[in-house]
Amino acid sequence: MFESNRIRLRKFSEDDIPIYHLWRNDIEVMNTTILNLDVHSVQETEAFCKQIIHSPTSKSYIIEQRDSHLPIGLTSLINIDPHNRNAECIIDIGKKNCWGQGYGKEALTVLLNYAFLELNLHLVSLRVFSFNDKAISLYKKLGFQHEGTCKEAVFRNGKWHDIEMFALLQNNYK
């Protein structure tokens, strides 16, 4: 359930903090996914990661290559609401030499299978910066529908950008 041809999702743990710290402090990695770019101390990253690991409303997974067990990214279901059967998904491919090779699609497919077929969620949503064309294209291919726009909600590289909201209903999931 937690793997595909090339990747495996395994539970995010405190052992993963050092690699996540590298990704979190790589502006190129986080430029398209995080609202507030910053340089984080090890202590800040540890506190952030421990909060994620112990959150009762999220499930976070390291994306690793199946053959090499090399960590290449992180994906999560966050803000899980069991009563209303919905959650938000996030993904970061931290290993830059893995960009553009379909790992994000594989990881999200595995995560969505888990969300819809095991957790029986009704809706999975996500937010994406309007300038992240590759991610928007991927989300549409996976069946996500555009649901709204937060106009000029993020200031990046001297300009205002929108945040686009997408969602996928369980009965529309292929």
Contacts of 143 (CB under 8 A, 6+ apart): 168, 172, 173, 174
Catalytic hit among 20, 61, 103, 139: 139
Inter-CA distances, 87 with 114, 118, 120, 151, Å:
12, 13, 11, 23
CB 121 within 8 A of CB 86: yes
Q: For the chain, how big is the Rg over CA atoms in Å? A: 16
CB 33 within 8 A of CB 93: no
Integer Cα distance of 3 and 46 in angstroms? 27
How many whole angstroms from its chain centre is CA 3?
A: 16
For the question of residue 20 being annotated catalytic, the response is no
Active site members: 139
